[in-house]
Each structure stands twice: as structure tokens, then as C-alpha cells.
Structure 1
């Protein structure tokens, strides 16, 4: 029985021929994502924004403006209503009332009573409260976690390969994170701790994919010392393409099932992961390898040469990277 091959043997796709359009597209998408986050911002969930969040499901078709009018009847501050799922579920977000836990419970009881009165049989799935101080700390810690992860990864690749590879990996990871943030700014989906976990997972996956490509590039730099760098990079990407396609496709199938069937709690996380896998695969092929050319990596940049020492003994020394 013959094994199924998604990528035929001897595949030779000239990826590097399109490196300029790929890079231009990536830079435009990064700038667009930064612009979206700067102008529209992120729709922070209760984890980051602080306040009170009530998730409710009703039997009728739920209209955000109608639900907002009902909740505002509790006089607990301006309510933010967001529909999600099948149109019967919404999250109700309110500012935290002044006072202790008893004051919070009074607001929750009033809001739930008004919703039940308007929507008989309403189901309250969860109630969450986060103080403003805690939410501010969570934003700082979440951003710091992503930043430290990216810098640590770049330093690791620098020592594992060469500094050019570290710069390429860091740019690829910044590309993946920026586009993910831009997507959440565009769609205004809740951005909470689950999404931070998804971003960190995307960083790890993209790194793994990039290291596989970089490792093959390093092997081929040793093997084909006279090959043109563009041809060598194309060869390395095509040699790792079957592994990249199979791994990414497996992840995409699993995450698509979670997006469709995982429910509202896992929807944001699964969607962020699904988007990140696609972006990470693209960046490993179209950014991580081509950027080495602009960093002046040549086929003989890291070739060890033999030079006689003062004592006449032959020693191997690495040629410096060409400027």
C-alpha cells in the first residue's frame, strides 16, 4: 500500500522569487495591524478591563440594543452588550459598583432579575468580577510575558545558529503577534487571558516551524558551499515543506473543530490559535528564510577554513560574516 503524500517528491517551488512581494505584504499588514490597535484598540475582557461580566443565554433571538435597555434599568452604569455564538447568547459587562462584595451581589441580583423578567427562562452561565487594580496588573504581566518570550527565543536562536537567524526569527514572531492583535482589534472579539495564552502558544509553534527550516538551511550551508544562496534557501524550504504542511494541516483540522464545536468559552482561544497557525506557517516560509538574504548571509558566510597558527599547527577558524 502506497503512503499518501501531500507534497510530491522533488517539489521545487521558487518561494524566494516572490520574496519582495511577500515582504512588502507582511510589512503593510504589520503597519495596518498597529494602526488598528492604535485607533480602534482592543476589546479587553473582564480580565483586563476590570468590572462585572454576566454571560446569559435566552431562548429568543437576542438583540443587543434591547438587552442594553433592560440592563440599564438596573442603574448600575453603562452596560456593554456583545452577542456571540448562535445569536441567543450575550455577555453583559458593567463597571464595578462602589462598596464591598455585598454591593456587587446586589447589582448582579438586580440585573439578573430584570433579564429574567424580560426573557423568561434565561440561563446565567457565569458571573465574573475583576478589580481595576488587578486588571491593570494583568495587562502589564501579559504584555511582559509575550515580550520576554520573544526576546528569549531570539537570544536562544542567536546562540543556537547565528545572530542573523535570531533577527529573522524575532521579526517573524513580531509579524505573527502583530497580525493576531490586529485581527482582534478589527473584529473586536474579547481579548482576555485566554487570548494571551493563545498568543504565547502561537509564538512557540511559529518558533518550532522556523527552527526546522533554519536547521535545514544550516545543514545545506555546510553541504552546498558553492550553491547560490537563493537556490539554497529554496532547496531548504522545499525539503521541509512536507513536514510543514502535514503538521499545520493537522493543527488546522483540530482547531477548526474546536472553533465550530467547542462552544463560546473556547471560541476566542481556538480562533486565535487557528489564525496563528496559518500566519506562523506563512512567516516561516515567506519571511524567516528570505530575511537572511537582506542580512547578507552567503553560502560561504559560516564556512570553517584552515589557517596555520604561530606554532605551525593547522587550526579551523570560521570566516567572519561578510558585510
Structure 2
């Protein structure tokens, strides 16, 4: 199925420097945000206690703050609305000694004079566990990138692998910058979204690279830029269609999925946009800038084909009993 068909190749690589400058600027801004503002770690990574409370009617947030302030364990607690003005979330860095208490009962007791409500969720994570989750989350991303580098090196050539990994780092860094910019809470759901972006972006990049490799074999042009332009143009309909369908599904989750998965869906939305952009305007130009030699590649492919034909000939002679 094709969304559209272009008769002439788009001249994309002629504008690669402009897109490169744009990507570098956005990357620098993203890294700057991460280093200066920092992540808004959720309970999963920072440790502490989260209590979600739903009221019948508008939640009296000022009364809630006053009611919980009498308990030292909730000193400096953050009380915010959650999705609607009927639900609130109470976040606090509770001491490890308090983790053994029944938080639901204690919260019911503290808020008994604030109105009719229901404690819907209680999450507790120790500071040590949160630190371990952060370390393991970072390690999982590093291992995923290393695994991708090895996989693409075996399937293609090392320049393809380097280009794809640089595009993935580009995508994840910008997604993390957007998370910091909009104050999205970083938890296990957000980490899952970042790992999903790695897979999504890699899949898109591999399809583009596969068409470029095929184009090097079949398109009778000496320069890589022209081959990339023609190959990317051939995959543009498929890339656009895949990205749009995925984007609208995730957008639906973001708009109607509720506050719980908002961080996950927002991170994915950014990742889909940036991943689609990088497959065309980041990964492909990097392949060109790394000095990929078209004639050398064709010579290697011809040599490989010659060896395969010789093997087939030897096998046929052996089967016919002439060896």
C-alpha cells in the first residue's frame, strides 16, 4: 500500500548540512536542559511515597496540605491535581522506618475532615531501590545501543552501524530534552517509552538503509548522494504511512489514556516525530559523511557473488560425480 508516489527523486542530501545544523542545535539545547534543569524523577527512581486520592467533587487542595502538615513524615510533601480537579496526588520522601506502616489507613485518618474521598493508589519505593532502578535503567539503554551496534555491523557494514547508533542517540537525547522541558515525571513508564523509541527508530532506519544498500547494487549512479535521494524517495510513502498510523494511535493514548500513562505517551509522541526525521535527515547523511565508498562496496559485492557462484559450481560438480 502506498500513500503517494513520486515520479522524480527528491533532492534531500543537497540540504543535509542545513538539517545537520538543526539537529546539532536541538541536541545542544536538549543536553543543556538535562544538565541545568535536570530530570523530574518520580517515585520509581527518587524513592518515597505516592498517594492518589479521589474526592466526590472538587478536591480541597489547601485543606489537604494543612491536614497532612501535622505529620512530620509528610513535611514538605507535594500535593497536586491529577488529571482532574477531583483527584490529587500526594508525593513525599518518607523515611524508611515509615515504609512498614499502612499508609492508606494513615492517610484516611489525616484527611478525614477534608471531605468524602477514596484512597485509590499507594506506591512506596525506598531510596536505595530507586537508585538501583536508575542505574539499571541507564544500563539497559547502554546495552540496547551496544547490541544494536553489533547487530547492524553484522547485517550491513560498520559505517551503517555507526550512522544508525548516532541517529538513535540523537533521538533519545532530544526525547529526554523534551521530557525535561515539559516537566514530565521520569519513571519506569518513561524509561519503557525511551527503549521503545530505540526499537522504533532502528526499525525505520534499517528499512531506509536496506533500500539504500539495494540502490547501490541496482542504481547505476556513481555518487552516494544521488543513490540515497532515490532510495529514500522510494521508501518515503511507506515511512510516512507507518509514522502517521503510529502517531495517531499514541496521540489517542495521550489525549484519552489518562494521567497515569501521559508521560509514556508524550515521550513516545516525541520519539516518533524525531525518529522519523532522523531516519531520513540524520542517519543517511551521516553515512555519506563517514566516507562510504560506492565503488568499493560494489567491488566487494561482485567478489562475494563470484565466490558464491564458484561454490555453486563446485557443489554441482560434486553432486554429478565429476569431482
Whether TM-score is above 0.5 comes out as: yes
1:161-190 per-residue CA deviation (whole Å, 9 max, x = no partner) reads 111111100111001110111111111111
The answer as to 2:109 corresponding to 1:113 is yes
Tell me the CA shift for residue 20 of structure 1.
Answer: 1.0
Q: Distance in 1 between matches of 2:98 and 2:125?
A: 13
The answer as to 2:81 corresponding to 1:86 is no
Unaligned runs of 5+ in 1: 309-313, 317-323
Q: Distance in 2 between matches of 1:276 and 1:235?
A: 26
Q: Distance in 2 between matches of 1:307 and 1:264?
A: 56
Pick from 18, 27, 42 the counterpart of residue 30 of structure 1.
27
Partner of 2:94: 96
Tell me the CA shift for residue 228 of structure 1.
Answer: 2.2
- Indicate how the Cα distance of structure 1 residues 64 and 230 shifts in structure 2: closer, same or farther if over 3 A, else same: farther
Tell me the CA shift for residue 89 of structure 1.
Answer: 2.9
Q: Report which of the two has the higher share of helix.
A: 2
Unaligned runs of 5+ in 2: 309-323
What's the TM-score, normalizing by structure 2? Answer: 0.86
Tell me the CA shift for residue 73 of structure 1.
Answer: 3.1
Tell me the CA shift for residue 33 of structure 1.
Answer: 1.2
Tell me the CA shift for residue 265 of structure 1.
Answer: 1.8
Partner of 2:51: 54
Tell me the CA shift for residue 17 of structure 1.
Answer: 2.3
Tell me the CA shift for residue 117 of structure 1.
Answer: 2.1
- Indicate how the Cα distance of structure 1 residues 157 and 94 shifts in structure 2: closer, same or farther if over 3 A, else same: same
Q: Distance in 1 between matches of 2:84 and 2:99?
A: 33
The answer as to 2:233 corresponding to 1:238 is yes
Tell me the CA shift for residue 305 of structure 1.
Answer: 6.0
Q: Distance in 2 between matches of 1:25 and 1:37?
A: 18
Q: Distance in 2 between matches of 1:54 and 1:290?
A: 49
Pick from 197, 208, 216 the counterpart of residue 203 of structure 2.
208
Tell me the CA shift for residue 288 of structure 1.
Answer: 0.6
Q: Contact 2:104 / 2:119 at 8 angstroms: preserved in 1?
A: no
- Indicate how the Cα distance of structure 1 residues 136 and 307 shifts in structure 2: closer, same or farther if over 3 A, else same: closer
Task: State the SS of the aligned residue for 1:208.
Answer: helix
The answer as to 2:117 corresponding to 1:122 is yes
Q: Contact 2:58 / 2:86 at 8 angstroms: preserved in 1?
A: yes
The answer as to 2:139 corresponding to 1:144 is yes
Q: Distance in 2 between matches of 1:292 and 1:219?
A: 15
Q: Distance in 1 between matches of 2:307 and 2:173?
A: 46
Tell me the CA shift for residue 83 of structure 1.
Answer: 3.3
The answer as to 2:258 corresponding to 1:263 is yes
Partner of 1:277: 272
Tell me the CA shift for residue 234 of structure 1.
Answer: 0.8
Tell me the CA shift for residue 206 of structure 1.
Answer: 0.4
The answer as to 2:9 corresponding to 1:12 is yes
Partner of 2:218: 223
Q: Contact 1:225 / 1:299 at 8 angstroms: preserved in 2?
A: no
Tell me the CA shift for residue 57 of structure 1.
Answer: 2.8
Of the structure 1 ranges 68-77 and 17-26, higher mean CA displacement relative to structure 2 is found in 68-77
Q: Distance in 1 between matches of 2:275 and 2:203?
A: 10
Tell me the CA shift for residue 74 of structure 1.
Answer: 2.5
What's the TM-score, normalizing by structure 1? Answer: 0.86
Pick from 36, 41, 47 the counterpart of residue 39 of structure 1.
36
- Indicate how the Cα distance of structure 1 residues 168 and 62 shifts in structure 2: closer, same or farther if over 3 A, else same: farther
Tell me the CA shift for residue 269 of structure 1.
Answer: 1.2
The answer as to 2:168 corresponding to 1:173 is yes
1:100-139 per-residue CA deviation (whole Å, 9 max, x = no partner) reads 644x32x554434333422x22232210101111111100
